[in-house]
Structure 1
């Protein structure tokens, strides 16, 4: 009868140094990919915000036409440490509805630099309103944004149309 012992020198596996080298290579690769992934997320966040803004413009126009009353899209520009946001406000005489309008925040990577009203005056603080009339019309305006690197602006045209352009707007 033959007795065999397992030789510890013939066990197969990875050494600690091999595991450390593999983890180091993976972490370097992820280090190069992380900025690309985060910038891609920012672009999606910006596009999502623009879609919400366009939807709010269309909703304001539709509500004004259906209710035969003016509707405003109000932007609250930065005051102190708070974030900018906007909301729809119907100008109904009926005060029985105590429902607060939903506020949509501007993403953290975006700042509203100014809003140029139909009067041609750039507003940089406080509340700025775009009024939508019951016939579907609204007055023009420009909302100037700055993200981490670039300036871009949204041109609000009659009938709640919106155009996005890049570059710094100068007066």
Structure 2
């Protein structure tokens, strides 16, 4: 049944040589190539992960800087608004003071004009009184008596006001 066949033995021997040859020539370089490729992929993945972490850190830093910038901008806007309001209040206050000064000056001018008009009226009343008194009395009075009568008349006229 089993006969020895040299062809089968030669084929087995050739197959073993082929396996040894493939192991030496093809398998080791192919395995080394696959290992190098695997190592390269792993290093690329590690580098990508590291770059992703750096990108996240940069993103977090930029977001924090943007928050600070927004807060500073808001603070600047609030300060400018407050300064504007303060300046507006100051302008209004200065305007009120200026209006009060103008009003006081106008009232003082009115009072001066009133006093001036009263003085002119007194002089006119005094002159008319002298003329009337001279005609009524029809005699000459000395200046001291006339002045005394005029002053009394002016005093009484002033009390009537």
Please say whether Structure 1 and Structure 2 have the same fold, judged by a TM-score greater than 0.5: no
Which structure: greater helix fraction?
A: 2
For normalisation by structure 2, the TM-score amounts to: 0.31
Pair member with larger Rg: 2
